[in-house]
Structure 1
């Protein structure tokens, strides 16, 4: 069956800009919004093809740039179980997005359809949403033209969070089956999370109010609806909720700001009191960063590593109390960005695996455990219960009241946690459950282990593709000789560790360093950054001052 003529007709309305190359990475396509019109149209076509290939299963499309500045935007596809797009399709997405003319696009499309053996007569179904960026509406219009070009049945989820879009995809595709994930609506999402949370804290003291920095993004209206569903069980104070103020999104607020600057968002100065817990979402509410002020009003960050340590230890404890330790193995997945102190803490308690940066790597590795906990240091993560483990939790017969209580808690956690993707609001409720059960304050949570001082810097390079890594991105194999120089530097620092990896979204190289003191971690990071700059043939007269 040939490519329908409507595809070329619509493609002419969305020409690709010259001299721009697009690449589908971990976060899908992401760049300045002004050049993305053609990409959104072609992703709409690709989403319809993906659905046809999978016999009409519903595919998700999310228009978002997450923690990026407001002028950026992006788009990513979601597979039927709410997981990231199958990696084998990423290359095809890149090829199709870079076809220069309509004729080129149709030719590439035809080749792809033939090679992938896609039956164009099959039905196509998609569900799509967007965040609050001003560019979202026009980009969604281009996306919708892609759906129309192949006659896809499309459902608009409107302005929503990335995790809710992922939830909807799985809920739609499992509706009416034994694996039903929940009602396929935003209301179904809120009911599922709030009911599980209330069960888990029913016998616990109501916590003190939690401040949520909503990053002036889509998390604000969604968190407001969550507040309604939680009622008195969880007092929340929403800050940075200005979703219509130009330039406010992710500006000096949000999870990425807290992680990279390691300080309180200025808008929360005077709002967060000593001893009070606070947390930050990012622009599409899939990352979560906690923090608190100590009695001297000193800021303390509780990042994804701290969340992983808190949650994993709690899950292991429940599994043991339920008498399931021989049947249910719990493991943690981290990346090289995980603080060395967190890795040590976790390794002493359960299996820990390191994988390359990127949600898809973490998610797939976590699936190999009965219960897999994964969190990136940036606050993106979740907990996965394998299908076999979910059956075990359903069928297991406890023999004591303590086992029965622990089993019920595990069943409720399985409902509370959004297992399709990292979800800041679901993760926030998970953290609050553990804190309530352990009667921990932020200080006691923070005291599980002491972070090694660390620093993350980036170096602008002409071509990030010259940097190649191995060993879960902890070792450089290209450019030749650079890793040896880094190793020599690291040996000079007490507790030193550093690695270099290319960004997946922009022409920069990221340098991470740890050492026994803040001054040494900073110095090591900047000196390694200087090495990277020099190896790229940088002009010494324009060498960044902090690398000197």
Structure 2
């Protein structure tokens, strides 16, 4: 590894032209695409170092998920498909922000501090979304990988979950699946068709959905699933252009605005699905006969999955620990239903997939979903083995075998590496088919508390500090007391704030029993944030 080459290429071909501080957040770096060239170059270098440190293939995904087209970003994916280790987030932030003349010394210090053998081979898998800036940024990362003497495989335009899948398959030598896009589609599609079996248990379930692909890369994957699942699930795809990415469409828009995209021809009580720009979030929704919008978000998906898995576990006779992980954004109605009706343990963790995923791994079967629709199910190897043994054992009854077989097929439908919008959609469709449910039956399982989210722009998001899985604000001093006073005036009132991981914004969440009061709570808390945390505007 020639450190002078790494620094010289950075200085001359990918110089740092942005003086502001860029931070690696919960979803990697994410900001305006025009200032990311030097960051992508340096992350190419860092991916090589991480690969050497882990002696495994590392993923590098170029995407800004649900952000507008003008933004972009990059995140590194660790060997088991998980987010980059937290300690390396600080390393990534430092390397991205040093002066061009300090690249060599910084890289050498990382190698020394992390005890990296520079003779270990390094390999990186690259993927990107459909943004116009993504191709050039991919080339910047390739320049960094090459300068650091790493090798790479560029899969071009793919979804973020597909990149995670490819990383895991490569590092497990194919035991998780075939490390190709064809292998990804084949694994999920075959399992979906296998578990469906015969007709649904009632005629309420109609095997057809309207899918809003957010004008992003998910449209490509959705088309392939539509082809492979013909005769099992009809997928009508909308918002498939490579422009206007996430503009008034996509999972984040539907979740926050509480309206369907104008481009999706919504019919009464028809199941509609929206994914986000890189296809790792999914939400369901429908419009009733009174034209009222109904959202079935990540909380609804989590409870649906939890109920289904608990039923199959009971029927199979397997004694496996099932648990569900939520964040503070989870609706209080869902938490009450899970704990008191389903009687499944619930854990609450800070926002961010890495926190949810880590906690879910503590259960034999861990289900995690953020309210925004980002989530999946993870299984311990011992749980998978027990499920497969039961499905094949001569000592198991027919009912036990059948339940265990369905669990085994469900495992293959799920992309355990990360939240996968299309995999999650197939899981939801599997369960609705098994239950014989339409959207009305699904929604009737429990009542959500009315809720509202707003954003407050601030001068510096780092003035906000929280604890108790982000449910309590400890800085600025006095702000939590203000929030407590506000929510105490409303039945079942709850509100919390948290700083964005990618921009100088404070997010406010509010819920209470009466829908007419939710807006009051949200605006009052937002005003307190502006007053005590240096807010500059409200949106």
**Interval containing the TM-score (normalised by the shorter chain):** over 0.9
Q: Given that residues 3 and 106 in structure 1 are in contact (C-alpha distance below 8 angstroms), is that contact kept between their aligned partners in structure 2?
A: no
CA displacement at 1:6 relative to structure 2 = 2.1
Aligned Cα RMSD in Å?
Answer: 1.3
Deviation at 1:52, TM superposition (A): 0.9
Give the match for residue 105 of structure 2: 107
Q: Which residue in 2 is equivalent to 1:380?
A: 374
What is the aligned length?
529
The more displaced of 371-380 and 383-392 is 383-392
Question: In the aligned structure 2, how far is the partner of 1:208 from the partner of 1:392?
Answer: 31
Measure how far apart 1:5 and its partner are: 2.9
- Identify the range of structure 1 (490-499 vs 202-211) with the bigger mean alpha-carbon deviation: 202-211
CA offsets 1:365-404 (integer angstroms, 9 cap, x no match): 0000000000000000000011111121222335211111
- The residue that corresponds to 1:44 in the other structure is 44
CA offsets per residue over residues 183-232 of structure 1, 9 Å max, x none? 11000000000000001112234833210000000000111011111121
Q: For residues 324-365 of structure 1, what are the alpha-carbon distances to aligned partners after superposition, in whole Å with 9 as ceiling and x for unaligned?
A: 1x2x11000000000000000011220000000000000000
Q: Distance between the aligned counterparts of 1:159 and 1:370, measured in 2?
A: 34
Alpha-carbon distance, 1:276 to partner: 1.1
Query: Which residue of 268, 283, 287 corresponds with 1:289?
Result: 283
Distance in 2 (alpha carbons) for counterparts of 1:537 and 1:132: 36
Partner of 1:82: helix, strand, or coil? coil
Partners of 2:16 and 2:63 lie apart in 1 by: 20
1:262 maps to what in 2?
258
Q: CA deviation at 1:485?
A: 1.3
Q: 424-433 or 120-129, which moves further after superposition?
A: 120-129
C-alpha distance in 2, partners of 1:218/1:384? 25
Aligned match for 2:123, one of 120, 125, 130: 125
Instruction: Tell me the alpha carbon deviations over residues 119-158 of structure 1, each in whole angstroms, 9 at most, x when there is no partner.
Output: 1111001111100000011101100001101111100111
Q: How many angstroms apart in 1 are the aligned matches of 2:420 and 2:230?
A: 20
How far apart, CA to CA, are the structure 2 residues paired with 1:346 and 1:100?
51
SS of the residue 1:62 aligns to: strand
How many Å separate the matches in 1 of 2:308 and 2:352? 25
Long gaps (5+) in structure 2: none
Quote the Cα distance in structure 2 between the aligned partners of 1:333 and 1:164.
Answer: 23
2:353 corresponding residue in structure 1: 359
Which sections of structure 1, spanning at least 5 residues, go unmatched?
none
1:218 aligns with 2:217: yes
The residue aligned with 1:433 is 430
What residue number does 2:20 align with? Answer: 20
Q: Secondary structure of the residue that 2:263 maps to in structure 1?
A: helix
Spell out, residue by residue over 1:463-486, the C-alpha distance to the aligned partner (whole angstroms, 9 max, x if none). Answer: 111111000000011111111111
2:166 corresponds to: 168
1:338 aligns with 2:330: yes
Q: 1:12-60: CA deviations, max 9, x gaps?
A: 21111242211111100000000000000000000011111122x1110
Q: TM-score with structure 2 length normalisation?
A: 0.96
- TM-score, length basis structure 1: 0.95
Matched, 1:301 2:295: yes
What does 1:112-511 correspond to in 2, within 5 Å? 112-175=110-173, 180-205=175-200, 207-243=206-242, 245=243, 248-268=244-264, 271-324=265-318, 326=319, 328-348=320-340, 349-396=343-390, 397=393, 399-511=396-508
Instruction: Tell me by how many angstroms 1:10 deviates.
Output: 1.6
Structure 2 counterpart SS, 1:449: coil
Choose 213-222 or 515-524, whichever is displaced more.
515-524
SS at match of 2:96: helix
Counterpart of 1:74 in structure 2 is 73
2:58 is matched with which residue?
Answer: 59
Give the Cα separation in 1 of the matches to 2:503 and 2:537.
19
> Which residue of 2 is the match for residue 529 of structure 1?
526
Measured after TM superposition, the shift of residue 9 of structure 1 is 2.5
